[in-house]
């Protein structure tokens, strides 16, 4: 049983590498032990059970860009329970072109120490040819 009252799953599907191992889980006195998988997989399974995180890949609004929405991602896996808060923040977030792929657009998102990174280079559009800003 986890802290939030939900049942602990009997196995975790590891997504760290393409092998996709199933790692068996046993819980005793609040401590987990794992069957199968490598060390990285066991560490992933432990995090998945105690503090699940995900890389968030989405788009944000860009002004004066050649495209209306700029593809972005978080620099590291972001706490899953705060992803809705992050999406809410990104809804009003806006950058201005030009932007280079890999550029840090925002630091320390919601105080997590995780940054927002551009995943595409976008040039500045000439006046009058700007993207609409629509999704």
Query: How many Cβ atoms from other residues are within 10 Å of residue 56's Cβ?
Result: 19
> How wide is the angle at C-alpha 61 spanned by C-alphas 117 and 110, nearest 5°?
50
> Does 16 help bind ligand SF4 (rule: CB under 6 A)?
yes
> Does 102 help bind ligand SF4 (rule: CB under 6 A)?
no
Each residue 51-80 as x (binds ligand SF4 by CB under 6 A) or -, in order, gives ------------------------------
Structure tokens at 69: 């929405």
Q: Residue 86: helix, strand or coil by DSSP?
A: helix
> Does 14 help bind ligand SF4 (rule: CB under 6 A)?
yes
> Does 25 help bind ligand SF4 (rule: CB under 6 A)?
no
Size, binding site for ligand SF4 by CB under 6 A = 10
Within residues 28-47, the interface with ligand SF4 by CB under 6 A covers 37-38, 40-41
């Amino acid at each position: 049983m986890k802290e939030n009252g939900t049942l602990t799953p009997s196995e975790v599907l590891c997504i760290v590498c393409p092998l996709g191992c199933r790692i068996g889980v046993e819980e005793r006195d609040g401590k987990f032990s794992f069957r199968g998988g490598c060390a990285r997989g066991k560490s992933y399974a432990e995090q998945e059970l105690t503090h699940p995180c995900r890389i968030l890949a989405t788009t944000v609004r860009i002004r004066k860009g050649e495209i209306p929405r700029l593809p972005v991602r978080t620099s590291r896996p972001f706490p899953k329970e705060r992803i809705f808060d992050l999406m809410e923040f990104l809804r009003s977030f806006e950058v201005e072109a030009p932007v280079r792929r890999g550029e840090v657009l925002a630091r320390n998102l919601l105080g997590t120490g995780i940054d927002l990174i551009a995943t595409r280079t976008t040039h500045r559009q000439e006046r009058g040819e700007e993207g609409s800003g629509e999704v």
